[in-house]
Structure 1
Amino acid sequence: MSDNLQRGALPIPDLAYTGTVTYDATDPDTHYPPIQPIRPPAGAPNVLVVLIDDTGFGASSAFGGPVETPNFERVAAAGLKYTRFHTTALCSPTRAALLSGRNHHTVGMGGITEIATSAPGYSSVRPNSCAPLAETLKLNGYNTAQFGKCHEVPVWQASAIGPFDAWPSPGNGFEYFYGFIGGETNQWYPAIYENTTPVEPWGTPDEGYHFMADMADKAIAWTREQKTLAPEVPSFTYFAPGATHAPHHVPAEWADKYKGKFDQGWDEVRKETFARQLELGVVPADAVLTARSPGIPSWDEMSDLIKPALARQMEVYAGFLAYTDHHVGRLLDAYEELGILDDTLVYVIIGDNGASAEGSMHGTTNEGFTINHMNEIETEQYVADHIDELGTPSSYNHYAVGWAHAMDTPYQWTKQVASHWGGTRNGTIVSWPNGGVEKGGIRNQFSHVIDVAPTVLEAAGIPEPSTVHGVTQRPYEGTPMNYTFADAEAEERHVTQYFEMFGNRAIFHKDWTAVAKHKDPWLASSHGLDDDVWELYNVDEDWTQSTDLAAAEPERLAHLQQLFLIQAARFNVLPLDTRSAERFNPDIAGRPQLISGDTQTFYPGMKRLSENSTINIKNKSWTVTAKATVPDAGADGVLIAQGGAYGGWSFYTTGGALAFAYNLLGIAVDVVRSDGAVAAGSHELRAHFAYDGGGLGKGGTVTLFAGDEKIGEGRVQRTLPFQFTFDETVDIGCDLASPVSPDYGATGNAFTGTLDWVRIDLGDDDHSHLIDDEHKLQVAMLKQ
Structure 2
Amino acid sequence: MSGTDPSFDGVIGDTWRESRPSWLPPRQRSASPNVVFIVLDDVGYADLGCYGSEIRTPHIDAMAARGLQYNNFHVTSMCSPTRACLLTGRNAHAVGMGFLADFDSGYPGYRGHVSTHAATLAEMLRDHGFSTLAAGKWHLTPAAEISHGGPFRHWPTERGFDRWFGFQGALADQWHPDLYEDKCPLPPAAGGGKHLSEQLVDRASRYLVDHRVAHTGSPFFLYLAFGAAHWPHQVPAGAIEHYRGRYDRGWDVLRRQRFERQLELGIVPPGTRLPPSNPGVPAWDSLTADERTVCARFMETYAAFVEHTDEQIGRLRAQLERLDLAQDTLVVLLSDNGASPEGGRIGTVNTRKHFFYEPEPVAEPLALADRMGGEDSFSHYPVGWAQASNTPLKWYKTHTHGGGVRAPLVVDWPAGIRRPGLRTQFHHVTDIVPTVLEIAGLGAPAVYRGTPQLPIQGTSLRYTFDEPQAPTRKPSQYFELLGNRGIWQDGWKALTHHVAGTRFEDDVWELYHLDRDFSECVDLAREQPERLAALRQLFEREARAHSVLPLDDRLFERIAARMQSAPTEYLYYPGMSRTDRLRSPNLTGRSHRFTADVELDGPRTQGVLLCAGTAFCGYTWFVRDGRLVHEYVFSPGVHEHIEAVLPPKPARVRLAYEFRKTGPTSGETTLSIDGQVLATGRISRTWPSRALNTGMLCGRDAGTRKSPDYEPPFAFTGVLHEVRVHLGDDLEGDPYAHYRSYRTGDED
Q: Shared fold (TM-score greater than 0.5)?
A: yes
Is 1:389 matched with 2:371? yes
Match of 1:665 in 2: 635
The one-character-per-residue Cα deviations of 1:53-89 (angstroms, maximum 9, x if unpaired) are 0001011112111211111112112211011111100
Match of 1:415 in 2: 397
Is 1:571 matched with 2:584? no
Q: Structure 1's 548 and 635: CA in aligned 2 closer, same or farther, altered over 3 A?
A: same
Task: Select 1:463's aligned residue among 432, 437, 443.
Answer: 443
Match of 2:517 in 1: 542
Is 1:554 matched with 2:524? no
Task: Select 2:343's aligned residue among 359, 371, 387.
Answer: 359
The CA distance in 2 between the partners of 1:709 and 1:121, in whole Å, is 51
The CA distance in 2 between the partners of 1:267 and 1:454, in whole Å, is 40
Match of 1:753 in 2: 718
The CA distance in 2 between the partners of 1:438 and 1:183, in whole Å, is 37
The CA distance in 1 between the partners of 2:394 and 2:516, in whole Å, is 17
The CA distance in 1 between the partners of 2:612 and 2:91, in whole Å, is 37
The CA distance in 2 between the partners of 1:490 and 1:52, in whole Å, is 28
Specify the SS of the correspondent of 1:642. Answer: strand
Counterpart residue identity of residue 707, structure 2:
S
Match of 1:39 in 2: 28
Alignment of 1:21-32 (within 5 A): none
The one-character-per-residue Cα deviations of 1:307-341 (angstroms, maximum 9, x if unpaired) are 11000000000000111111111111101100001
Alignment of 1:467-486 (within 5 A): 467-486=447-466
Match of 1:163 in 2: 151
Specify every segment of 5 or more residues in structure 2 that has no aligned partner in the other structure, as ranges: none
Counterpart residue identity of residue 118, structure 1:
G
Task: State the Cα distance separating 1:370 from its structure 2 match.
Answer: 2.4
Alignment of 1:354-753 (within 5 A): 354-375=338-359, 378-418=360-400, 420-434=401-415, 436-438=416-418, 440-519=420-499, 525-579=500-554, 583-586=558-561, 595-597=566-568, 599-631=569-601, 634-675=604-645, 678-691=648-661, 693=662, 695-703=663-671, 705-710=672-677, 712-713=678-679, 715-723=681-689, 725-746=691-712, 748-753=713-718
Match of 1:302 in 2: 287
Moved more, 722-731 or 487-496: 722-731
Equivalences, count: 740
Task: State the Cα distance separating 1:628 from its structure 2 match.
Answer: 1.2
Give TM-score, length-normalised by structure 2: 0.94
The CA distance in 1 between the partners of 2:572 and 2:187, in whole Å, is 20
Question: Is the 1:433–1:439 Cα contact (8 Å) retained in structure 2?
Answer: no
Match of 2:272 in 1: 287
Moved more, 267-276 or 569-578: 569-578
Q: Structure 1's 270 and 253: CA in aligned 2 closer, same or farther, altered over 3 A?
A: same
Give TM-score, length-normalised by structure 1: 0.89
Task: State the Cα distance separating 1:716 from its structure 2 match.
Answer: 4.3
Question: Is the 2:574–2:721 Cα contact (8 Å) retained in structure 1?
Answer: yes
Specify every segment of 5 or more residues in structure 1 that has no aligned partner in the other structure, as ranges: 1-12, 520-524, 780-784
Specify the SS of the correspondent of 2:537. Answer: helix
The CA distance in 1 between the partners of 2:587 and 2:649, in whole Å, is 29
Q: Structure 1's 625 and 528: CA in aligned 2 closer, same or farther, altered over 3 A?
A: same
Task: State the Cα distance separating 1:388 from its structure 2 match.
Answer: 2.2
Task: State the Cα distance separating 1:201 from its structure 2 match.
Answer: 4.5
The CA distance in 1 between the partners of 2:596 and 2:322, in whole Å, is 54
Alignment of 1:117-156 (within 5 A): 117-156=105-144
Task: State the Cα distance separating 1:15 from its structure 2 match.
Answer: 5.8
Counterpart residue identity of residue 45, structure 2:
F
Q: Structure 1's 505 and 393: CA in aligned 2 closer, same or farther, altered over 3 A?
A: same
Task: State the Cα distance separating 1:268 from its structure 2 match.
Answer: 0.9
Alignment of 1:228-267 (within 5 A): 228-267=213-252
Match of 2:37 in 1: 49
The one-character-per-residue Cα deviations of 1:456-500 (angstroms, maximum 9, x if unpaired) are 111111111111011121110011111111220223111311111
Q: Structure 1's 35 and 15: CA in aligned 2 closer, same or farther, altered over 3 A?
A: closer
Question: Is the 2:560–2:734 Cα contact (8 Å) retained in structure 1?
Answer: no
Q: Structure 1's 32 and 396: CA in aligned 2 closer, same or farther, altered over 3 A?
A: same
The one-character-per-residue Cα deviations of 1:399-453 (angstroms, maximum 9, x if unpaired) are 11111111000111110002x111011111101111x213541111111111111
The CA distance in 2 between the partners of 1:572 and 1:221, in whole Å, is 40
Question: Is the 2:556–2:736 Cα contact (8 Å) retained in structure 1?
Answer: no
Is 1:328 matched with 2:317? no
Q: Structure 1's 31 and 441: CA in aligned 2 closer, same or farther, altered over 3 A?
A: farther
The CA distance in 1 between the partners of 2:120 and 2:35, in whole Å, is 15
The one-character-per-residue Cα deviations of 1:561-620 (angstroms, maximum 9, x if unpaired) are 111111111111122222457523235xxxx978323x3322223343245434333444
Is 1:69 matched with 2:57? yes
Counterpart residue identity of residue 772, structure 1:
A
Q: Structure 1's 146 and 542: CA in aligned 2 closer, same or farther, altered over 3 A?
A: same
Question: Is the 1:513–1:538 Cα contact (8 Å) retained in structure 2?
Answer: yes
Question: Is the 2:175–2:193 Cα contact (8 Å) retained in structure 1?
Answer: no
The CA distance in 1 between the partners of 2:312 and 2:60, in whole Å, is 11
Match of 1:82 in 2: 70
Specify the SS of the correspondent of 2:63. Answer: helix
Specify the SS of the correspondent of 2:516. Answer: coil
Is 1:338 matched with 2:323? yes
